[in-house]
Amino acid sequence: MPIYTYHCDSCGITFDQRQSFSDEPMKVCPECLEETLHKVYQPVGIVFKGKGFYATDHRSASGTSTISEKKSSQSKSETSASTETKSSTAKADTKEK
C-alpha cells in the first residue's frame, strides 16, 4: 500500500497517510476539520544504468572508460605513430639524394 503526502491549505499541516489505490483521497483535514486538504505530488528520481543508453543518461565514473573507448584511443595512437615514422623516413630519403 502506498503512502501519500497530504497538505492542508487552511492550517498548513503536512502529513503522510497510508492508503490503498482503491481508497478515495482524503478531503477533510484531521487537524482543523476543513475541506482544504489535497495530495502533494513529488517528483520521482530515475537513474538509467547499463549499456544501451546515451552518454547523457548515464556516464561512467570519472577516470574509467569502456572497452570500446580504450580500443579507439589505442588505434588512434598507433595510426599517428605510423604516420610519424613514414614522414621521418621520407625526409631521410630526401636528404640522401
Residue range 19-56, pLDDT digits in tens: 998 999 999 999 999 999 999 988 877 777 777 666 66
Does residue 73 carry a pLDDT above 70?
Answer: no
Supply 16's cell numbers: 503522510
Residue 69 has pLDDT above 70, yes or no: no
Distance in angstroms (rounded) separating the CA atoms of residues 10 and 86: 81
The residue ranges of every structural domain in the chain are: 3-40
Cβ contact 31:14 at 8 Å: no
SS (H, E, C) 24-62: CCCCCCCCCCCCCEEEECCCCCCCCCCCCCCCCCCCCCC
Q: What is the pTM of this model?
A: 0.45
Beta-carbon-side half-sphere exposure of residue 63 (alpha carbons within 13 Å):
0
For residue 15, which phi and psi values (nearest 5 degrees)? -150, 165
Whether 90 shows a pLDDT value over 70: the answer reads no
